[in-house]
């Protein structure tokens, strides 16, 4: 996805873009490969997680209810909306579109999922996660297993967050520096 350079003079943005390409700045080859793999794995996780929930919304609603966190009025809405959001986010990651929003939302959901598991673990409830399969079809695992798995997912999400936002921050800082130098040069020429 291209960054909007509408607010910058063309000669500055084109110069800075060609400098980046020629100087080899940006993530290394290995880092780019790792980010692609992380993006595809996270896309697969979210797409796979959504499929059974979309196919069996009533069973997923029971799983949401078992967490005993949401008010009854929000359980069915959550069971209907969350799987489609997961599918949309997975497809965005897969197609590499709307990356900043998709990665930020994925990480937000992972934090919420992790918080729900920690909350239930602290209350002594051992709930069926409902993450990849719903209802009685789901394999019976402990909340601790789900917690450790979700920490791993969050670490992967944090890596994607780093990979998406750090280059943007560096590019923004570089553009600001180039603009500052250009403005100083213009002031000297007056």
Average predicted confidence (pLDDT) for the chain? 84
Q: How far is CA 181 from CA 12, 84, 131, in A?
A: 10, 47, 52
**15-52 pLDDT, tens per residue?**
343 344 444 556 789 999 999 999 999 999 999 999 99
**134-150 pLDDT, tens per residue?**
776 656 677 788 889 99
Buried b (16+ CB within 10 A) or exposed e, 150-162: beebbebbebbbe
**70-107 pLDDT, tens per residue?**
999 999 999 999 999 999 999 999 999 999 999 999 99
**pTM of the predicted model over 0.85:** no
What phi and psi, each to the nearest 5 degrees, are found at residue 58?
A: -65, -40
CA-wise closest residue to 62 among 46, 51, 78: 78
Per-residue pLDDT at 121: 87
4, pLDDT greater than 70: no
Which residue ranges make up each domain of the chain? 30-184
Cα–Cα dist 28/32, whole Å? 6
């Amino acid at each position: 996805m291209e960054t909007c350079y509408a607010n910058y003079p063309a000669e500055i943005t084109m110069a800075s873009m060609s400098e980046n390409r020629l100087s080899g700045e940006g993530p290394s080859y290995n880092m780019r490969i790792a980010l692609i793999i992380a993006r595809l794995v996270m896309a697969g996780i979210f797409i796979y997680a959504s499929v059974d929930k979309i196919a069996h919304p009533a069973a997923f609603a029971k799983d949401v209810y078992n967490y005993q966190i949401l008010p009854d009025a929000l359980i069915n809405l959550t069971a209907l909306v969350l799987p489609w959001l997961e599918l949309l986010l997975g497809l965005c990651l897969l197609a590499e579109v709307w990356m900043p929003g998709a990665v930020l939302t994925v990480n937000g959901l992972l934090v919420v999922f992790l918080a729900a598991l920690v909350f239930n673990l602290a209350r002594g409830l051992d709930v069926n996660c409902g993450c990849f399969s719903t209802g009685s079809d789901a394999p019976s695992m402990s909340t601790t297993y789900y917690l450790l798995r979700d920490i791993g997912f969050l670490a992967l999400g944090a890596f994607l967050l780093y990979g998406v936002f750090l280059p943007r921050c560096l590019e923004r800082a570089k553009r600001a520096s180039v603009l500052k130098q250009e403005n100083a040069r213009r002031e000297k020429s007056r």
